[in-house]
Structure 1
Amino acid sequence: MITFIISAIITGAITGGLGRLLLPGRQDIGWIPTIFAGIVAALVGGLISHFLGFADRVWLGIVVQLILAVICVSIVANMQAKKKDSKH
């Protein structure tokens, strides 16, 4: 179980970081939301790959995960921006 958690954090950090790099512009979010966005993207991307039948094709799964990471990081960045705007 601990191995799963550690691997999810590492995969989330990598996936979230790459998604953040692929997203144009500056994202004003921290590293913890980036990791959580990456974890969500990796898990959902893995499920999508499995249900579409190409889980055995690693590169297609990675592409799906990266696309989802860009979407997740974008959503988190927009939520953070709205939160900052409402405080001012």
Structure 2
Amino acid sequence: MEISGIISAIIIGIVIGVLGRLVVPGRQHVGVIWTILVGIVAAFIGSAIAAGFDVQSTKGVDWIEWLIQIGLAALGIAALDNRRLHRR
């Protein structure tokens, strides 16, 4: 992966993290940095999953890849929030 691909993945990861957080109902007790990190990880893993199913490159917007990434980010945010709630 080239440096431009990594930078775009990070930017997309930030957007994915925010969208994933919006999908999770209720108030989350997860900070902004954790939201961004979860989004970046979800973007990388979601891209790999989309490549595995051969849906990473479609004509126009890659909606399936985006949905996979947002779903993974929502799961990550929910898991992180659940973990933090049980610590208290």
Superposition TM-score tier, normalisation by shorter sequence: 0.7 to 0.9
Higher helix share: 1
Deviation at 1:40, TM superposition (A): 1.0
What is the aligned-residue identity percentage? 39
TM-score by length of 1: 0.84
Gaps of 5+ in 1: none
1:72 to 40, 56, 76: 76
Deviation at 1:11, TM superposition (A): 1.6
Alignment of 1:57-68 (within 5 A): 57=58, 58-68=62-72
Alignment of 1:1-88 (within 5 A): 3-57=4-58, 58-83=62-87, 85=88
Distance 2:55 2:3 in 1: 27
Contact 1:37 1:76 in 2 (8 A): no
* Structure 1 runs, 4 residues or longer, greater than 2 Å off: 1-9
Deviation at 1:9, TM superposition (A): 3.0
Alignment-mate amino acid for residue 81 of structure 1 = L
Distance 2:10 2:86 in 1: 26
What's the CA shift string for 1:39-59, capped at 9, x where partnerless?
111111100000011111311
What is the alpha-carbon root mean square deviation over aligned residues?
1.6
Deviation at 1:7, TM superposition (A): 2.7
